[in-house]
Amino acid sequence: MIRKFAVALLLSCSAAAVAVPLGSQSVLVVEDGTGKVLLEKNATSVVPIASLTKLMTAMVVLDAKLDMDEQISIDRQDVDVLKHSTSRVPVGATLSRGEVLQLALMSSDNRAAASLARTFPGGPAAFKAAVDRKVRALGMAQTRIAEPTGLSPANTSTATDLVKMATAAAAYPDITRMTTDTREVINVKGRSVEYHNTNRLVGAKGWDIGLSKTGYTEEAGRCLIMRIKAAGKNATMVLLNASANSARIMDALNIRRLITGDEGRTTTKRLARSAPASLIKASAGRLKASKVSNGRKKAAPTKKPRRRRAD
């Protein structure tokens, strides 16, 4: 009898994982309010978290109740010398702290995040101490944050801890607003520059997103935190270490289907209603060779590698 019960329990626990194919290496989906776990995969594995870090950076800055209208100049100290990531915020640009926070969250700009720590009262050391206190206060026992951008692989956590961080971040109206803006036009050195959200599901048809943050480094893979509402249900999802942006997007789409109860075969038509066409095309993968009239395959031209932007 006990053996039969154990087998039944095992089957029930693994049913969701079987029904939802996942490309991310660590996944946790929790129903908001009740804390009910809807989906779980390697949720306690400690891994690098890349720019998901910026949610913690934002909370610490907002907790300090700093003047959001105060002008901050981007300094050479803010330039990424670890990963050499690109930035559309030039050295010497002067923006309000609120604009800098927006760029760190919405566009995941690393210089913006670095400048928030540099201009924190007491400097980077005081910022780091405030982060450590916040991590402890949220009960994120498996989390270590070494710097504000997420570029360092020393910034590590688990999907379980990151649900706690996302839940806390969702209580800040500034964070929910900034992370769910699709675009923002900011005056930079006398000219208007348009910045976009790094999560292309934000603003996509059929998606009701209350909080969003992407992340990417080679060590962390593609990461995503979202709080979504679907079929009258509210849930938080954490996706860590997906091999590609398309895999991360497909995981989000499949999780949304799980929440809404649509666990049937996913079709291109269904996906087209849930995300931009460009994402669906990417999720199917790109052919590396094209067919020619004689039936042979022609190798696609290779592209020169480009420096990655923030994610």
Please say if the pLDDT value at position 291 is more than 50: no
What is the spatial distance between Cα 123 and Cα 117, in angstroms, rounded to a whole number? 7
pLDDT at 311: 83
Residues 6+ apart with CB under 8 A from 151: 50, 80, 82, 83, 85, 110, 217
Q: Tell me what percent of the residues of the chain surpass a pLDDT of 90.
A: 77
pLDDT at 271: 45
pLDDT at 209: 98
Cα 255 to its chain centre, rounded Å, is 15
Q: For the beta carbon of residue 128, count every other beta carbon within 10 angstroms.
A: 18
pLDDT at 188: 96
Q: What is the pTM of this model?
A: 0.84
Give mean pLDDT, residues 33-37.
96
DSSP state of 144: B
- What does the mean pLDDT of the chain come to? 85
* Residue 172: pLDDT band with limits 50, 70, 90: very high
What is the spatial distance between Cα 133 and Cα 51, in angstroms, rounded to a whole number? 19
* Residue 303: pLDDT band with limits 50, 70, 90: very low
pLDDT at 289: 34
Amino acid at 67: D
pLDDT at 262: 75
Please say if the pLDDT value at position 290 is more than 90: no
Q: Tell me what percent of the residues of the chain surpass a pLDDT of 70.
A: 78
pLDDT at 309: 57
Please say if the pLDDT value at position 242 is more than 90: yes
* Residue 2: pLDDT band with limits 50, 70, 90: very low
Please say if the pLDDT value at position 273 is more than 90: no
* Residue 310: pLDDT band with limits 50, 70, 90: low
pLDDT at 300: 46
Please say if the pLDDT value at position 76 is more than 50: yes
Catalytic residue set:
51, 54, 108
Residue 292: both structure tokens together? 């020619």
pLDDT at 19: 63
* Residue 287: pLDDT band with limits 50, 70, 90: very low
Give mean pLDDT, residues 95-107.
98
What is the spatial distance between Cα 286 and Cα 198, in angstroms, rounded to a whole number? 21
pLDDT at 277: 52
* Residue 62: pLDDT band with limits 50, 70, 90: very high
Which 3 state secondary structure label does DSSP give 190? coil
Q: What is the pLDDT of residues 111-144, one digit of tens each?
A: 999 999 999 999 999 999 999 999 999 999 999 9
